[in-house]
Structure 1
Amino acid sequence: MMDPHRRAAHADHVDGNVLAGALERLFGGEPTGMIAVCGACGTAARIAEAWVEIDDTAAIVRCRSCTKTLATLMFADDPPRLVVSALGELRGS
Protein backbone atom coordinates (compact mmCIF):
# COMPACT_ATOMS: atom_id res chain seq x y z
CA MET A 1 0.00 0.00 0.00
CA MET A 2 1.32 3.44 -0.94
CA ASP A 3 2.20 5.85 1.87
CA PRO A 4 -0.33 8.73 1.63
CA HIS A 5 2.37 11.24 2.68
CA ARG A 6 4.67 10.41 -0.26
CA ARG A 7 4.34 12.27 -3.51
CA ALA A 8 3.59 10.40 -6.67
CA ALA A 9 6.66 9.35 -8.63
CA HIS A 10 5.58 11.27 -11.75
CA ALA A 11 5.77 15.00 -12.38
CA ASP A 12 3.15 17.22 -13.96
CA HIS A 13 4.12 18.75 -17.31
CA VAL A 14 3.12 22.38 -17.85
CA ASP A 15 4.66 25.30 -19.74
CA GLY A 16 7.30 27.67 -18.39
CA ASN A 17 4.75 30.24 -17.22
CA VAL A 18 4.49 28.24 -14.00
CA LEU A 19 7.99 29.57 -13.10
CA ALA A 20 6.96 33.25 -13.03
CA GLY A 21 6.49 33.54 -9.27
CA ALA A 22 9.64 31.64 -8.33
CA LEU A 23 11.78 33.56 -10.85
CA GLU A 24 10.40 36.87 -9.58
CA ARG A 25 11.32 35.84 -6.02
CA LEU A 26 14.78 34.73 -7.17
CA PHE A 27 15.65 37.79 -9.26
CA GLY A 28 13.45 40.39 -7.54
CA GLY A 29 16.05 41.76 -5.11
CA GLU A 30 19.49 43.27 -5.55
CA PRO A 31 21.11 40.96 -8.13
CA THR A 32 24.70 41.47 -6.94
CA GLY A 33 23.64 40.19 -3.52
CA MET A 34 22.61 36.83 -4.96
CA ILE A 35 24.78 33.86 -4.03
CA ALA A 36 26.64 32.14 -6.86
CA VAL A 37 27.95 28.64 -6.19
CA CYS A 38 30.86 27.57 -8.38
CA GLY A 39 30.20 24.20 -10.00
CA ALA A 40 33.95 23.57 -10.21
CA CYS A 41 35.17 24.19 -6.65
CA GLY A 42 31.94 24.60 -4.65
CA THR A 43 32.72 28.10 -3.34
CA ALA A 44 29.56 30.07 -2.50
CA ALA A 45 29.82 33.86 -2.56
CA ARG A 46 27.81 36.93 -3.44
CA ILE A 47 28.02 37.88 -7.11
CA ALA A 48 29.46 41.21 -5.99
CA GLU A 49 32.55 39.29 -4.78
CA ALA A 50 33.24 37.61 -8.15
CA TRP A 51 36.09 38.65 -10.44
CA VAL A 52 34.80 40.25 -13.62
CA GLU A 53 36.64 40.79 -16.90
CA ILE A 54 34.74 43.40 -18.90
CA ASP A 55 34.92 45.14 -22.27
CA ASP A 56 32.42 46.96 -24.52
CA THR A 57 30.51 43.82 -25.43
CA ALA A 58 30.58 41.39 -22.51
CA ALA A 59 31.44 40.69 -18.89
CA ILE A 60 33.04 37.39 -17.94
CA VAL A 61 32.17 36.49 -14.35
CA ARG A 62 34.81 34.31 -12.66
CA CYS A 63 34.93 32.44 -9.37
CA ARG A 64 37.23 34.32 -7.00
CA SER A 65 38.54 31.04 -5.56
CA CYS A 66 39.39 28.94 -8.64
CA THR A 67 38.97 31.51 -11.48
CA LYS A 68 36.65 29.24 -13.52
CA THR A 69 34.17 31.17 -15.66
CA LEU A 70 30.80 31.12 -13.89
CA ALA A 71 28.90 32.96 -16.61
CA THR A 72 29.28 35.51 -19.38
CA LEU A 73 26.90 38.45 -19.69
CA MET A 74 26.63 39.53 -23.32
CA PHE A 75 25.28 43.06 -23.03
CA ALA A 76 26.04 44.31 -26.56
CA ASP A 77 23.19 42.07 -27.76
CA ASP A 78 19.63 43.31 -27.70
CA PRO A 79 18.28 41.95 -25.45
CA PRO A 80 21.29 41.05 -23.31
CA ARG A 81 22.12 37.34 -22.92
CA LEU A 82 23.53 35.36 -20.02
CA VAL A 83 25.64 32.35 -21.01
CA VAL A 84 26.05 29.99 -18.05
CA SER A 85 29.33 28.08 -17.72
CA ALA A 86 30.59 26.70 -14.36
CA LEU A 87 27.78 28.28 -12.34
CA GLY A 88 26.52 25.38 -10.27
CA GLU A 89 23.77 27.25 -8.44
CA LEU A 90 22.33 30.74 -8.12
CA ARG A 91 20.19 31.63 -5.13
CA GLY A 92 18.73 34.69 -3.48
CA SER A 93 20.61 36.31 -0.65
Structure 2
Amino acid sequence: MTHLDGNALAGPLGELFAVDVTAATGRCASCGMTGPVASLKVYGPGPGLVARCPGCDEVMLRLVRGPGAAWLDLRGTVTLRIPVVD
Protein backbone atom coordinates (compact mmCIF):
# COMPACT_ATOMS: atom_id res chain seq x y z
CA MET A 1 0.00 0.00 0.00
CA THR A 2 1.43 3.39 -0.91
CA HIS A 3 1.50 6.27 1.51
CA LEU A 4 1.76 10.06 1.50
CA ASP A 5 3.99 12.11 3.78
CA GLY A 6 2.67 13.90 6.86
CA ASN A 7 1.99 17.07 4.87
CA ALA A 8 -1.23 15.31 3.78
CA LEU A 9 -2.46 16.01 7.32
CA ALA A 10 -2.16 19.82 6.89
CA GLY A 11 -5.70 20.36 5.60
CA PRO A 12 -7.56 17.95 7.90
CA LEU A 13 -5.66 19.05 11.03
CA GLY A 14 -5.88 22.70 9.92
CA GLU A 15 -9.65 22.41 10.24
CA LEU A 16 -9.20 21.52 13.94
CA PHE A 17 -6.21 23.61 15.09
CA ALA A 18 -5.24 27.28 14.75
CA VAL A 19 -1.58 26.37 14.12
CA ASP A 20 0.14 24.27 11.46
CA VAL A 21 0.41 20.91 13.26
CA THR A 22 2.58 19.44 10.47
CA ALA A 23 5.37 21.68 11.83
CA ALA A 24 4.97 20.16 15.31
CA THR A 25 7.51 17.64 16.56
CA GLY A 26 6.22 14.30 17.76
CA ARG A 27 7.87 11.39 19.56
CA CYS A 28 6.89 7.83 18.73
CA ALA A 29 5.63 5.83 21.72
CA SER A 30 7.07 2.64 20.24
CA CYS A 31 10.64 3.44 19.15
CA GLY A 32 11.19 6.93 20.59
CA MET A 33 12.01 8.49 17.22
CA THR A 34 11.41 12.25 17.21
CA GLY A 35 10.56 14.27 14.13
CA PRO A 36 8.07 16.59 12.47
CA VAL A 37 4.51 15.44 11.88
CA ALA A 38 5.20 16.18 8.20
CA SER A 39 7.63 13.22 8.14
CA LEU A 40 4.98 10.65 9.13
CA LYS A 41 3.75 8.09 6.58
CA VAL A 42 0.05 8.80 6.01
CA TYR A 43 -2.48 6.28 4.67
CA GLY A 44 -6.06 7.06 3.75
CA PRO A 45 -8.33 8.85 3.16
CA GLY A 46 -11.10 6.41 3.97
CA PRO A 47 -12.48 5.70 6.40
CA GLY A 48 -9.94 8.07 7.98
CA LEU A 49 -6.27 8.98 7.99
CA VAL A 50 -3.65 6.82 9.70
CA ALA A 51 -0.14 8.24 10.24
CA ARG A 52 2.74 5.85 10.95
CA CYS A 53 6.23 6.41 12.32
CA PRO A 54 8.84 6.55 9.53
CA GLY A 55 11.25 4.66 11.80
CA CYS A 56 9.29 1.65 13.09
CA ASP A 57 6.00 1.89 11.14
CA GLU A 58 3.83 1.91 14.30
CA VAL A 59 0.64 4.02 14.26
CA MET A 60 1.19 7.44 15.86
CA LEU A 61 -1.97 9.28 14.84
CA ARG A 62 -5.48 8.49 13.62
CA LEU A 63 -7.95 11.08 12.37
CA VAL A 64 -11.55 10.30 11.43
CA ARG A 65 -14.18 12.84 10.38
CA GLY A 66 -17.90 12.32 10.65
CA PRO A 67 -20.94 14.57 10.41
CA GLY A 68 -20.38 17.35 12.94
CA ALA A 69 -17.40 15.73 14.71
CA ALA A 70 -13.78 14.66 14.38
CA TRP A 71 -11.91 11.99 16.34
CA LEU A 72 -8.16 12.41 16.86
CA ASP A 73 -6.28 9.48 18.44
CA LEU A 74 -2.68 10.25 19.44
CA ARG A 75 -2.03 7.28 21.74
CA GLY A 76 0.99 6.26 19.60
CA THR A 77 2.57 9.65 20.23
CA VAL A 78 4.36 10.28 23.54
CA THR A 79 4.62 14.04 23.07
CA LEU A 80 3.62 16.60 20.48
CA ARG A 81 5.64 19.83 20.63
CA ILE A 82 3.69 22.56 18.82
CA PRO A 83 5.51 25.81 17.98
CA VAL A 84 3.52 28.89 19.01
CA VAL A 85 4.16 32.60 18.67
CA ASP A 86 4.88 34.34 22.00
Q: Do they superpose with TM above 0.5?
A: yes
How many residues were matched structurally?
A: 67
- Check 1:77–1:45 CA distance in 2 against 1; reply closer, same or farther (3 A cut): farther
Could you list the runs of 4 or more consecutive aligned residues of structure 1 that deviate by over 6 angstroms after TM superposition? none
User: What is the deviation of 1:55?
Assistant: 2.3
In structure 1, stretches of 5+ residues that fail to align are 1-26
Distance across 2 between alignment mates of 1:61 and 1:77: 22
2:58 maps to 1:58: no
- Check 1:74–1:43 CA distance in 2 against 1; reply closer, same or farther (3 A cut): same
In structure 2, stretches of 5+ residues that fail to align are 1-16
Quick check: which one's strand share is greater? 2
Partner of 1:75: 65
Query: Which residue, out of 15, 19, 41, partners 1:29?
Result: 19
Amino acid at match of 2:43: E
Q: For 1:38-53, what aligned pairs fall within 5 Å after superposition?
A: 38-53=28-43
User: What is the deviation of 1:83?
Assistant: 1.4
